[in-house]
Structure 1
Amino acid sequence: MTRMPIFNHTTKHFCKSSNDVADCKVLPDLLEQINSNIEQVSGDGAYDTNESYDTITQRQAKAVVPPRSNAQIQQPNSSEIPAHPRDENLRRIHQIGRQLLVARKQISSTFFV
């Protein structure tokens, strides 16, 4: 299965994998192909995993990924540990609503990764 390209100015990056490999598992390989700074990584719900958020955060980029319909906050808000970026995304969606965030392009409604 061929994954969608990542666009870096005029360079396209691809990762080819079989159907039994989850999209989120190839994300590190895709991002490794980009040597420059990454401002934002957008993707569909297949990238709504803590691992994807961690990979994106390691590149100091913003994750723009809609949560899955059954997404749950993993870490309580009052925790001593800083909030995980995925949990922050879910809290923001609960605060102002999914449709408004899509309209503001703060989460993706389409597949860009």
Structure 2
Amino acid sequence: MAAREWSELALDAGIVAGLVLVVFNAFRKSVLVGENEIRKVQPLWNDQSVQISEIRRVHVPTIESGLWLYTDPDGNPALTIGGGLEAPDELEELVTESVPPAAKITGLGQEEEN
């Protein structure tokens, strides 16, 4: 009986530790806008990036905060940047100013060319 209780306790501790890591990762993510690429950095996952010169569309969701960056305007996002980041409005402005002039900016209830 004691072995069963210990295994249940170990399972519960493992679940709690996993949740703590997920929450930690969510609060530690950051986005780096460089001269040539935009990189999403998360401590527990692989970094994701997209070359700025390849971005064809930036979508700003109207319901949630974040950005979706597309290299194929009609395909799936090449990089999604979710909410929970510091200064989301400043990040949005920095990204939209960094993309190629021909890239479309969509969302916010309208479509406009940058």
Larger gyration radius, structure 1 or structure 2: 2
Q: TM-score, normalised by structure 2?
A: 0.24
Higher relative contact order (CA 8 A, sep 6+): 1
User: Which is richer in strand?
Assistant: 2
